[in-house]
Amino acid sequence: MDINNIFDTSDVDQSLKPEQSNSNSIISNPNECINVKFDDYSCIILLNILKTVTTGCTDLMLVDSVISQKSDNKQLTFMCDVSRLFENKKINMRFSKLAEKREILEIIHRQKSQLNLTVKPNLYKFYDRITELDISPAIPKYITNQFITEEDNNKSLGIDQATTVFSGIELDKDVIERMVKMSKTMSTSSMFLKFVDDTMTVQLTPSDEKSFTIVNLIKFTDGNVKLNGLVKFNMYSIASCPPPIYMNVLVRKHQTGSVIILEINSKFLFTSLDPKDKKTENTNSNMDGIDFKITTSSTLV
């Protein structure tokens, strides 16, 4: 995947827990059939959300129209309620090779065709007036990216034991664009957070240790907790979220040191899909869209 194309827009309580099923059925009623018609905005946003998820996930597990799953390497968790995109219907789907299926759907959508979905117990059918994409549900135990509840995710991160260092700090469009372009130039997919007392600096360094280059991308001051050290995160999935990004930084102390927790909050906007709408370029806090969240943690050294 080309990192320069991650912003391209041309182109949901009791749920059925995946491990509770012993068959391929993903609908509680074996005779149930759910039909969805996607308008153009919903289709574009769905494709863009799936594109971001593919930066860390091979498979997709959708439970009651909610995406909540860990990345392949278990370091990130992607969370998003996409029920609005499915006409507020509770959709359950699970399939492997997410990137492949997303690319096929994008090819269909590029021709500005009406995309539809029919969900049956043992078949998901995406189709327009010409083409049908039939997907059989993947067997739950073979899904790499299993559904995880927000409660379980917070427990695994130790959120209830953490203290907020920075809340709602913003990485705007300019910062994200610089991050993407500089990381490509420096052949790196990592970003570092350097803490000095109450100051945090977002840094980029090349993968080549002989380069001796450090980019201090942006600095934040007046943190609630004084820390000293360096922590490394994979920036690729984070940078694939539409800007601006609002980031919460937390710290959890344990016997051997400190763990830094990041909560990345973004929004896939409906209004920003209109090229004539320039008001949405630098802000999304009050705009209509689909909230998207990534959580991750790493040890401070």
CA angle 107, 111, 113 (to 5 degrees): 105
How far apart (Å, rounded) are the C-alpha atoms in residues 189 and 197? 26
DSSP string of the chain?
A: --GGGTT----------GGG-SSS--SSSTT--EEEEE-HHHHHHHHHHHHHHTTT-SSEEEETTEEEEE-TTSSEEEEEE-GGGGTT----EEES-HHHHHHHHHHHHTTTPPEEEEEETTEEEEE-SS-EEEEPPPPGGG-SS-B--HHHHHHHHTGGG-EEEEEEEEE-HHHHHHHHHHHHHTT--EEEEEEEETEEEEEE--S-TTS---EEEEEE---SS-EEEEEEEE-HHHHTSPSPEEEEEEEEEETTEEEEEEEEEEEEESGGGSTT--TTSS--TTS-EEEEEEEEEEE--
pLDDT value, residue 208: 72
Q: Which of 52, 54, 72, 53 is nearest to 6 (CA)?
A: 52
pLDDT value, residue 66: 98
Residues in the chain: 301
Question: CA distances (Å), 94 to each of 111, 136, 141, 233, in order?
Answer: 26, 9, 11, 28
Strand-strand pairing, 257-269 and 245-254:
antiparallel
Taking the chain (301 residues) in runs of 10, the rounded mean pLDDT of each run is 43 36 43 89 95 97 97 97 96 96 95 92 94 95 95 96 97 95 92 97 85 91 97 92 96 92 95 51 67 97 94
* pTM, entire model: 0.85
pLDDT value, residue 7: 40
125, 118 contact by CB (below 8 A): yes
Single-letter residue type at 45: I
With 0-12 CB in 10 A as exposed, 13-18 as middle and 19+ as buried, what is 21?
Answer: middle
pLDDT value, residue 207: 76
191, 233 contact by CB (below 8 A): yes
Residue with tokens 């820390």: 227
Question: Please, which residues bridge with residue 136 across strands?
Answer: none
Question: With respect to CATH, is domain 3-148 assigned 3.10.150?
Answer: yes
